[in-house]
Structure 1
C-alpha cells in the first residue's frame, strides 16, 4: 500500500535509480504508453474506501519492474504491477517495456452524496454513472442526474444511470441529487453531489490516407495506407478499413488490413482517393482526407516498322504484313499505317501493347510504294522511317515457270521416242528371228518342223 509520504532512498541508490529511469525514458520514446486501470472503476470514492491500481504495459506478462508515481513524485518500485491505496491524488506508472502512462486523478470525498464516473469512457461505449450516499446515508430516494444543469434522468430509488453508445457530445459537467432518510427518523433532506467534469474521448482520430506517390508513372505499383491510432486504453479494439475512388468502393467490404496495393496503375486510375476506418463492435466509422492521384504517362520513343517478307519485296497476290513497334511508352497506344502520298490511313489499332500488325492479304502491282507507321498515346506522336515496298510480277513468274515446264516436257517426249524406237526394234527381232546362212533353207529358230521338200 502507498504511504503518506514519498519513499526516501539512499543517495547511491537514488543515483542508480535515476540512471535506470534515464535509460527507461530513452527506451520509452518509442514504446507505447502504459495504462492505469482502477478496480472499482470509479475516480471518486468515499474516505476509508480502497482502490486497486493496475499498471498494464505493452507486454501481456506481469513480470518485471513497475514504477509508480503520485503527484509527479516517484513513490515505489514494485516487482508486481498492482498496488492498493486509500489516498487521493494523481497516479501514473511505467514498466520496462512501456512509456509513462497518462495520469489518473483519484478523488477521496467526505461528502454525504457523490457522483461516481469511470476513469475513461470512449465514443461508442456505454457510460455508467452512479450516485452514492455515505454509509449513514445509504437510503437515498428520488435520485436525479444532471448534465450541464439540465435533468438527464430521474429514479425513485438509487440506481445507476446508463447511456449506451455515447458520442463526443456527451462530454460535460454531471452531478446528481437525492433525498436522504437521516438516522432512520422520518426526516428527509435533499443533497447534491459535487459536479464532475466528464470527457468522452475519441476512440480514434479520423484516418489519414497516405500514398507512396501522388504522381506515379503508368505501369508502376502504388500503395495506399489508411493510418490512424487507437488510444493505449483501447489498443485491443479491432479496426477494419475500406478504400474509395471518386465515390465508389475499390476494395470490396471491410478489411482488417490498412494497406491497399495497386500492382500497376494506369492513366484512367487518376482521381480522388480516400479511405474509411471502422470499429465494428462500437459501430464508429470515420473518413480520411482526400488525396488526388495524377498518373503520368511515359512518352513513346523508338518506333520501328518492319515487313514480312523482309525487305519489302513481295510477289503479286501474296500477303504483306507491316509490323509497327515502339521501344517504350505507356497507356493505350494507337498505331496507324500510311502510304506516302495518301491522306487517309490504311488502318488503325489501339491497344495496351508496344507492337501491332497490319496485313494486306493479296497485294497488287499498284501497291508498290513507300510505307510508314505512327504511334500515339496522348502524350506524343511519332512516325517511323519509310519502307520501300517493291513488287515481283506474277506474269514474269508464270513465264519462267512455263519455260521450265516446256523444257521438262520436251525432254520427256524425246525420252519417250527413244524408248518407243527401242521397243520396236526388239519386237522385229523377236518376230523374224536371225537370218540363215546362204544356201541353207530358211527356218524359224523357234520351230522344230521342217518345211516340205
Structure 2
C-alpha cells in the first residue's frame, strides 16, 4: 500500500502495515521538526518497522496529526550553529569560533559539513575558528552532520568602522542577556549611551543587562559613544533588532494503543523537542483531562491509565514548563474515547 493510498483510507487497517513510500507528505510539520527527504516511515510504539530507518543513526521522531490520528514519521532535528564569542557582529582582525550543535540523542556522527553562503567549505570538524577575520569572512553559515538536515543560516557580520552594537547570536525565550557597545580597540572613548526605541536607558559602561524576554519581544536597541580620532571626539552610533528564539517546541500529545479499549492500559505521552543549543533544558510535564489536571508537574512525560473505563474518556492535553525560567507551553487537545465495556 502506498502512503498516499493510506492517507485516503478510512484507517481500518493498522498503521503497522505501512512501510516507507517514495512520496512527499502533504501536511503541516510539527514545530521545531524538519523532514529532510522524500522517504517516510511510520513508527509503531516507537519501534521502526523498516530496516533502513532502524539503521539510520541520525533520525528522530517527528509528530503529525492526520484526521484525528497521530503518526510518527521519520525526521531529523536540525542542528544549530553557535558563535564563540556569542556575538552576531565582530570587527575585522578579531577572531570567531563556530560550532555545529546537534541533538545529543543523535548517535554515530562521523563527520560534519560546513557551508558559507550555500557554498561548501573545506571543514570537516564540529567546530572551527576564523582567526583575524576579514570582511569577506562575514556571511551566512550552515552546518550538517552526515546525512542529517542542514541547519538554519547563522549570519556573521565582520565590519570595519568605529562602533558596533553587539547582540548575542541567539536569544531564547526566558533568557536574560547583555548588549555591548563595542568600539574599535586602541582609541580613547568617552560617554556611552544606550537607547531603546530612541529613548535613553539608565546604564553605565559599555554593557547593558536586559531582563527576561519572550517570543513576542522585537526591540530596536541603539548605542552611542564618543570616540577620539582625527584630532577630536566624534559621536558614533549603531543599532540592532533583538529577536527571540523558541526554547523548545510546543508539546504534542499522543496516545497508545489506539483505539483505546476498556479494561486495557493506556499511555498518554507528551512529546517536546528542545533546541540543539539548549539540549539540557530541564522540563516538567503536567497532564489534563477536560481542562482539569490529572497529573501534576513532574519529570515524567507519560500519564498512565490502568484498566481504562469509559469515564476516562475526554479531551486530553499536556503542559510543559522549563524549570529554570518558567517558560510554559500547552499542547493541543486530543480526544480519547474508551471503546467497549467492562464486564
State TM-score, norm by structure 1: 0.53
Relative contact order, CA 8 A, sep 6+: which one is greater? 2
Give the structure 1 partner of residue 80 of structure 2. Answer: 35
How far apart are the structure 1 equivalents of 2:331 and 2:288? 10
TM-superposed deviation, 1:130: 0.8
Give the structure 1 partner of residue 20 of structure 2. Answer: none
Q: Deviations over 1:230-269 (max 9, x none)?
A: 1222222122211122343222x32222121212111222
1:135 aligned counterpart, secondary structure: coil
Of 249, 252, 255, 1:205 maps to: 249
TM-superposed deviation, 1:181: 4.3
How far apart are the structure 1 equivalents of 2:123 and 2:160? 30
How far apart are the structure 2 equivalents of 1:233 and 1:27? 20
Answering whether residue 103 of structure 2 is matched by residue 73 of structure 1, we say no
Bigger strand share: 2
Structure showing greater Rg: 1
State TM-score, norm by structure 2: 0.69
Of 120, 124, 131, 2:181 maps to: 131
Task: Give the aligned length.
Answer: 268
1:45 aligned counterpart, secondary structure: strand
1:237 aligned counterpart, secondary structure: coil
How far apart are the structure 2 equivalents of 1:229 and 1:57? 12
Matches within 5 A, 1:8-407: 30-58=75-103, 64-79=110-125, 81-85=127-131, 86=133, 87-96=137-146, 98-146=148-196, 149-151=197-199, 153-155=201-203, 157-178=204-225, 180-183=226-229, 187-193=232-238, 195-212=239-256, 216-251=260-295, 253-298=296-341, 330=342
How far apart are the structure 2 equivalents of 1:234 and 1:32? 13
How far apart are the structure 1 equivalents of 2:163 and 2:129? 27
1:268 aligned counterpart, secondary structure: helix
Bigger helix share: 1
How far apart are the structure 1 equivalents of 2:258 and 2:219? 42
In structure 1, stretches of 5+ residues that fail to align are 1-25, 299-329, 331-353, 355-453
With over 3 angstroms needed to count, the CA separation of the structure-2 counterparts of 1:77 and 1:133, relative to structure 1, is: closer
